């Protein structure tokens, strides 16, 4: 698109105002005296070089024999004038500074990406960002370029802007709410982003109304800025700033802080996660039962390295599908067996009696019998105590504990890592086998698991976490 193709003025208006001036038989000096507008400026107006502000335009129009009503009627028929004097002609509507919201939506509806806009509008990406975030007013010349690129007339663009009025007001209300909430805390943008546990650029986009929120982000904003999650959610919903297509029920996290306040068991938390098939972080996606097993192994390794081998194997293969514990076991004769059947098989291989297993493990006979006869797994701690006696990977039993809590018919597809971390941090304290664990430790486990570290570095990082917390 060649520069200079589009005009900053209205040719229709130029012809009209010139005709009015010629009909009046006034000299430009007489017009200057009547309006108080400088001669040099009047010359630019009459030649269409610059559009005057509304007050000067009204004074010139009236001086040339028109009325303010006739000026407004004329502007309604001329897209350039309607756009230029929008704030006067539509005082109850959003200002033209918000036009970028409509332009952004229309471009998105047509599948136009940023590079398409840069080339099609013959402008910079930074200028487009400023327009879309309402930091600058879109010029008339740029509006013409948008109209051609979108296959619309300027009037059609303005009509779309009018249709968006309620949504634009809602976005403005959301932005003001977040901005004023931050101002009340005294935080700078950087401090607010840290308090809300998100990237600074992400926080800026949220405060500018340019970011679609997930429940995770709503909760982070609520906690970081000490405001109501329900109010954030309501305002974001009205402004259409909630991310679509997520399986995470947006109403559920708003009650999460109440539901999870106080002590929460690690098992109940992991059961919540395994109601999903996957946990995702960007393009990375791991099955929830694999991640849950790794969390249990990390907690079991807190005071030693007893399960280091299988933990490292899980870390190396975290993004693989299937039950990794069976790969560690590497005994194809047991492929079709349940964990309880495998346990019984290995008791027989070692020629142990149930009574010997009871003595070696310290587990009551009822527990051993429940595993062997009923495939009943209730405790990760029991599994970690009893399976190693048979040289069985603890993960074989842990996977069975997790499966016992699964409801496959109610599973949802994917939960994102940020939602997991945020939900974990809402608890006051976690409990695992009579040990109190800080929420920050639990959330750190997930962050480490999905990091880009090697399996060995992840293992060492997990071992370095503080796993005990005294109750206040």
pLDDT for the residue numbered 101: 86
What is the maximum alpha-carbon separation in the chain? 119
Same domain assignment for residues 389 and 435: yes
Is residue 381, in this structure, part of any structural domain at all? yes
Same domain assignment for residues 202 and 315: no
Same domain assignment for residues 295 and 444: yes
For 335-346, b where at least 16 C-beta lie within 10 A, e where not — what string?
eebebbebbbbb
3-state secondary structure the chain: CCCCCCCCCCHHHHHHHHHHHHHHCCCHHHHHHHHCCCHHHHHHHHCCCCCCCHHHHHHHHHHCCCCHHHHHHHHHHCHHHHHHCHHHHCCCCCCHHHHHHHHHHHHHHCCCCHHHHHHHHCCCHHHHHHHHCCCCCCCHHHHHHHHHHHCCCHHHHHHHHHHCHHHHHHHHHHHHHHHHHHHHHCCCHHHHHHHCCCCHHHHHHHHCCCCCECHHHHHHHHHHHCCCHHHHHHHHHHCCCECCCCCCCCCCHHHHHHHHCCEEEHHHHHHHHCCEEEEEECCEEEEHHHHHHHHHHHHHHHHCCCCHHHHHHHHHCCCCCCCHHHHHHCCHHHCCCCHHHHHHHHHHHCCCCHHHHHHHHCCCHHHHHHHHHHCCCCCHHHHHHHHHHHCCCHHHHHHHHHHHHCCHHHCEEEEEHHHHHHHHHCCCEEEECCEEECHHHHHHHHHHHCCCCCHHHHHHHHHCCCCCCCCC
- Residue among 87, 128, 88, 76 nearest 104 (CA): 128
Same domain assignment for residues 103 and 80: no
Look at the chain and report how many structural domains it folds into: 4
Handedness of CA 324, 330, 335, 339 (dihedral sign): negative
- Tell whether the model's pLDDT for residue 184 goes beyond 50: yes
Asked if residue 341 lies in contact with residue 347, where contact means CB atoms within 8 angstroms, the answer is: no
Which among 163, 185, 204 is the end of a domain?
Answer: 163
Mean pLDDT of 376-402: 85
CA angle 417, 423, 426 (to 5 degrees): 145
- Residue among 95, 253, 250 nearest 171 (CA): 95
Same domain assignment for residues 362 and 458: yes
Instruction: Say how many C-beta atoms besides its own lie within 10 A of residue 171's C-beta.
Output: 24
Same domain assignment for residues 235 and 364: no
Q: What is the β-pairing status of strands 276-281 and 284-287?
A: antiparallel
Asked if residue 147 lies in contact with residue 156, where contact means CB atoms within 8 angstroms, the answer is: yes
Is residue 6, in this structure, part of any structural domain at all? no
Give the lowest-confidence range in 1-10, 106-115, 132-141, 241-250.
1-10
The rounded mean pLDDT for the chain is: 83
Alpha carbons 293 and 311: distance in angstroms, whole number = 9
Read off the pLDDT of residues 188-210 as tens digits, 9 standing for 90 and up: 998 998 888 777 878 888 998 88
Same domain assignment for residues 227 and 242: yes
32: domain range?
Answer: 11-89
Structure tokens at 23: 């009909």
Alpha carbons 99 and 94: distance in angstroms, whole number = 8
Same domain assignment for residues 149 and 210: no
- Tell whether the model's pLDDT for residue 289 goes beyond 90: yes
pLDDT for the residue numbered 428: 61
Is residue 384, in this structure, part of any structural domain at all? yes
Alpha carbons 264 and 272: distance in angstroms, whole number = 12
Is residue 1, in this structure, part of any structural domain at all? no
pLDDT for the residue numbered 452: 92
Mean pLDDT of 279-284: 90
Same domain assignment for residues 411 and 276: yes
Is residue 429, in this structure, part of any structural domain at all? yes
Give the lowest-confidence range in 52-56, 349-353, 431-435.
431-435
Read off the pLDDT of residues 309-332 as tens digits, 9 standing for 90 and up: 999 999 999 999 999 999 998 888
Is residue 393, in this structure, part of any structural domain at all? yes
Which among 221, 255, 289 is the end of a domain?
Answer: 255
- Tell whether the model's pLDDT for residue 8 goes beyond 60: no
pLDDT for the residue numbered 255: 39
Same domain assignment for residues 155 and 65: no
pLDDT for the residue numbered 248: 41
- Tell whether the model's pLDDT for residue 187 goes beyond 50: yes
Same domain assignment for residues 317 and 436: yes
Alpha carbons 154 and 145: distance in angstroms, whole number = 9
Asked if residue 261 lies in contact with residue 341, where contact means CB atoms within 8 angstroms, the answer is: no
pLDDT for the residue numbered 448: 94
- Tell whether the model's pLDDT for residue 469 goes beyond 60: no
Which among 223, 255, 287 is the end of a domain?
Answer: 255
Asked if residue 432 lies in contact with residue 266, where contact means CB atoms within 8 angstroms, the answer is: yes
Q: Which residue has the higher pLDDT, 12 or 123?
A: 123
Q: What's this model's pTM, rounded to 2 decimal places? A: 0.48
Residues 121/127/131/135 CA torsion (nearest 10 deg): -170
pLDDT for the residue numbered 205: 85
Structure tokens at 98: 């918000």
pLDDT for the residue numbered 246: 43
Where does the pLDDT of residue 177 fall: very low under 50, low under 70, confident under 90, or very high at 90 and above?
Answer: very high
Read off the pLDDT of residues 78-122 as tens digits, 9 standing for 90 and up: 888 888 888 888 888 888 888 888 998 899 899 998 889 999 999
Same domain assignment for residues 156 and 172: no
Query: What CATH number is associated with residue 17?
Result: 1.10.260
The backbone torsions φ and ψ at residue 328, rounded to the nearest 5 degrees and listed phi first, read -65, -45
Where does the pLDDT of residue 400 fall: very low under 50, low under 70, confident under 90, or very high at 90 and above?
Answer: confident
Is residue 3, in this structure, part of any structural domain at all? no
Query: What CATH number is associated with residue 116?
Result: 1.10.260.40
- Tell whether the model's pLDDT for residue 304 goes beyond 90: no
Is residue 243, in this structure, part of any structural domain at all? yes
Read off the pLDDT of residues 27-83 as tens digits, 9 standing for 90 and up: 999 999 999 999 988 888 887 777 788 898 899 999 999 999 999 998 888 888 888
């Amino acid at each position: 698109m060649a520069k200079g193709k589009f005009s900053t003025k209205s040719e229709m208006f130029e012809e009209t105002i010139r005709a009015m001036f010629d009909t009046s038989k006034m000299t430009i000096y007489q017009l200057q005296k009547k309006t108080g507008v400088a001669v040099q400026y009047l010359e630019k107006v009459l030649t269409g070089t610059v559009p005057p502000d509304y007050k000067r335009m009204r004074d010139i129009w009236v001086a040339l024999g028109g009325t303010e009503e006739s000026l407004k009627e004329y502007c309604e028929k001329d897209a350039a004038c309607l756009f230029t004097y929008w704030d006067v002609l539509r005082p109850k509507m959003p200002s033209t500074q918000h036009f970028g919201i409509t332009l952004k939506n229309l471009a998105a509806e047509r599948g136009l990406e940023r590079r398409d806009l840069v080339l099609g509008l013959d402008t910079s990406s930074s200028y487009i960002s400023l327009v879309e975030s309402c930091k600058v007013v879109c010029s008339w010349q740029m509006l013409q370029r948008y109209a051609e690129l979108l296959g619309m007339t300027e009037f059609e663009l303005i009509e779309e802007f009018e249709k968006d009025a309620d949504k634009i007001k809602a976005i403005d209300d959301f932005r003001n709410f977040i901005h004023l909430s931050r101002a009340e805390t005294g935080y700078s943008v950087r401090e607010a982003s840290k308090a809300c546990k998100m990237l600074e650029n992400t926080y800026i986009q949220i405060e500018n109304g340019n970011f679609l929120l997930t429940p995770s982000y709503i909760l982070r904003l609520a906690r970081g800025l000490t405001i109501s999650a329900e109010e954030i959610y309501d305002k974001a919903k009205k402004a259409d700033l909630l991310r679509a297509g997520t399986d995470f029920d947006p109403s559920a996290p708003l009650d999460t802080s109440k539901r999870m306040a106080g002590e929460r068991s690690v098992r109940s938390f992991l059961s919540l996660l395994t109601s999903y098939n996957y946990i995702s972080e960007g393009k990375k996606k791991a099955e929830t039962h694999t991640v849950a097993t790794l969390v249990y192994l990390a907690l079991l390794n807190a005071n030693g390295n007893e399960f280091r081998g299988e933990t490292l194997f899980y870390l190396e293969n975290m993004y693989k599908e299937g039950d990794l514990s069976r790969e560690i076991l590497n005994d194809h004769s047991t492929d079709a067996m349940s964990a309880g059947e495998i346990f019984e098989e290995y008791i027989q291989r070692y020629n142990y009696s149930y009574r010997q297993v009871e003595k070696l493990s310290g587990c009551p006979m009822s527990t051993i019998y429940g595993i062997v006869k009923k495939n009943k797994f209730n405790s990760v701690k029991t599994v970690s105590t009893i399976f190693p006696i048979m040289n069985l990977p603890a993960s074989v039993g842990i996977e069975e504990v997790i499966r016992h809590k699964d409801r496959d018919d109610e599973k949802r597809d994917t939960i994102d890592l940020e939602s997991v971390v945020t939900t974990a941090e809402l608890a006051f304290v976690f409990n695992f086998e009579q040990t109190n664990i800080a929420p920050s430790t639990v959330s750190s486990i997930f962050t480490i698991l999905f990091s880009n570290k090697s399996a060995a570095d992840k293992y060492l990082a997990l071992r370095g976490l503080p796993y005990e917390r005294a109750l206040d």
